[in-house]
Structure 1
Amino acid sequence: MKALSVIELAELYRMNRQSIYKRINKGDLSKNSDGKIDLAEAIRVFGEPSNKKSNVTTLQSTSAQKDTEVDMLKQQVDILKKQLELAHDREIFQREQLEAKDNQIEAIQRLLEAPKTNMTTFTDQKSEPDTADPQLKSELKHDGLTTPDQKENPRIPVPEPIEPELKKRGFLSRFFLPNG
């Protein structure tokens, strides 16, 4: 049970300290090795504290509340540590993703900046593909769609319209004026 000092016991029972010391000297009340008096011993000698019983329970309840608060705070600290670890892991993951994307961007930029051999502009294109590659030659031979002698497609002339276009007419003139 709870051990109380002489001062706490005097306040609890609303007595003088001298009367408590007299009981101790008589041998009615005994102290522990740490100099405190056990509450059960005080109840045996003095009886239940009449109006301060709630004070003893409040002392016990406040210590229990402090213990529960300490436990809750420890749990909160553990939760915050876990959240901090998760945030750190997310940050590392995001940095790795960013580095990977940066590497991809750099690779694409190198490909875009690389000199292009055998590439010509649209206006400089030849009608015959470069046949220096033997694989490309074999594809051209077996293709069957193109002929190596064909140089350029002749332009097909577009005929001029034969009938002249009709003059545009307004909305009402379409109904009231004759055709033509």
Structure 2
Amino acid sequence: MKSLSVLELSKLYNINRQTIYNHINKGILSKNSDNKIDLAEAIRVFGEPIRKQDVKEPVKVDSQNSAEVLLLRQQIDILKNQLDDAKDRESFYQNQIETMQRLLEAPKANMTTFTDQKPEQDIATDPRSEPEPKHDGLTTPEQPENKRIPVPEHIEHEPEKRGFWSRFFRPYD
């Protein structure tokens, strides 16, 4: 097999010599006893070498314009994606607005509102809500007891609770 020096290998693969030395030091690439590298070993590590094709006619490539065109196309794609996202958001918010408007519609005229309704008596709090038995004249009606709990007229004000430091610094307040 053909053996190549580090310089020949770097030119063949178009890589830096230091990269080849690093691969040798790490054990990825091995050298022969004559300090040359087999082509088969280089192919195993770096793959097939890139062969330069001879260009007979000079190809005119306007790299600056092509790079600008590529950049502008990428920006157009980004703007199209942003526009699609904005349209999706707009339709979502429009649906939310329509839903809220349907929920907030004014009540119909034939419907009664909460303020128009008569308040019903609460059985638990109103003692008058018990049906009064009819008096037939033969028995004496029972007098209902006053079920209200008397509230004292004067309530003593509880002293303000004091913390630890106020007890220490102001013991007689």
TM-score under structure 1 length normalisation:
0.34
Structure (1/2) with the larger helix percentage:
1
TM-score under structure 2 length normalisation:
0.36
Greater C-alpha Rg: 1
